[in-house]
Amino acid sequence: MKTILITGASSGIGYATAKALANNNRLILCGRRNEKLLQLKAELTNTECYLLNFDVVHKDDVFKSFENLPKEWQNIDVLINNAGNAHGLASFQDADLNDLDAMIDSNVKGVIYVTKACLPYLQNSENAHIINISSIAGKQAYTNGATYCASKWAVEALTKGMRLDFLPLGIKVTSIAPGVVETEFSLVRFKGDTQKATKVYEGFDPLKAEDIAETIAFAVNQPKHVQLADITILPKAQADATTILKNNLY
């Protein structure tokens, strides 16, 4: 039984990951929406859960949340840095600077704040493991996604750098880079425009949050001496960040 902390647990991949890891583990569920966290906790009847309500972009809230962890939750085995978002899909010249700030704040600074704050509690574990949720966008830049891609590129660099720095600390570090996953992701990217969001997932079978959750669980459940470094996971119909075969029967 491991104690596993998940950021962005109130929806999408984080939510599905909590469900996939429940029953055999103790979970620290972190998110911005407390009512969603409470709902998730209520669903995980056989699992000991502790809730932390913070937004990863607020440095002081992140550190205060960890400092206030009750004693019985202070030994964390696995940190899953899942929280992150895309805001807008526009050329660099047309993009709203607030959107670009928001992506760097959540996707890059959020990972830095949470990892820094969590590190003292991870270091006591023989199973210490950090899983960073990256993206195919961290491996390939695409039109209208420069800053989102840059933010996920940073997650890739942080993952590799952490793996080097944490080597003497015995902390495993894994990057999981999904392609198109059907979640609230596109609804947030397109600021609530359901039509645009739905279109992203039309004409093929996108990944589901549960697919990524299964992959995360696979990484978590490796033997102690096995460190999965880098997993890219795509729908069958996707060949790279921008090549998706739609409306094709096979």
The residues annotated with a catalytic role in the active site are 148, 152
Contact pattern for ligand 8X3 over residues 134 through 153, marking x by CB under 6 A: -xxx----------------
220 forms part of the interface with ligand 8X3 (CB under 6 A): no
Instruction: State which of residues 179, 190, 212, 235 lies at the interface with ligand 8X3 (CB under 6 A).
Output: 179
Which positions ≥6 away from 125 have C-beta within 8 Å? 75, 76, 77
CB of 152 to ligand 8X3, least distance (A): 6
Q: Closer CB to ligand 8X3, residue 12 or residue 31?
A: 12
CB of 234 to ligand 8X3, least distance (A): 9
Instruction: State which of residues 180, 213, 220, 234 lies at the interface with ligand 8X3 (CB under 6 A).
Output: 180
CB of 136 to ligand 8X3, least distance (A): 5
CB of 166 to ligand 8X3, least distance (A): 24
Instruction: State which of residues 21, 37, 114, 241 lies at the interface with ligand 8X3 (CB under 6 A).
Output: 241
Q: How far is it, in rounded angstroms, from Cα 38 to Cα 86?
A: 25
Give the binding range for ligand 8X3 (CB under 6 A) out of 39-47, 50-58, 130-138, 162-170.
Answer: 130-138
Q: Closer CB to ligand 8X3, residue 38 or residue 187?
A: 187
Q: Closer CB to ligand 8X3, residue 81 or residue 135?
A: 135
Q: Closer CB to ligand 8X3, residue 17 or residue 135?
A: 135
Per residue in 7-34, is it b (16+ CB within 10 Å) or e — as a string? bbbbbbbbbbbbbbbbeebbbbbbbbee
Q: Got the DSSP string for the chain?
A: --EEEETTTTSHHHHHHHHHHTTTSEEEEEES-HHHHHHHHHH-TTS-EEEEE--TT-HHHHHHHHHT--GGG----EEEE----------TTTS-HHHHHHHIIIIIIHHHHHHHHHHHHHTT-TT-EEEEE--GGGTS--TT-HHHHHHHHHHHHHHHHHHHHTGGGT-EEEEEEES-EESTHHHHHTTT-HHHHHHHTTTS--EEHHHHHHHHHHHHTS-TT----EEEE--TTEEETTEE--S---
By beta-carbon distance, which residue lies closest to ligand 8X3? 135
> By rule CB under 6 A, what count of residues binds ligand 8X3?
6
Q: Closer CB to ligand 8X3, residue 43 or residue 205?
A: 205
Q: Footprint of ligand 8X3 on this chain (CB under 6 A)?
A: 135-137, 179-180, 241
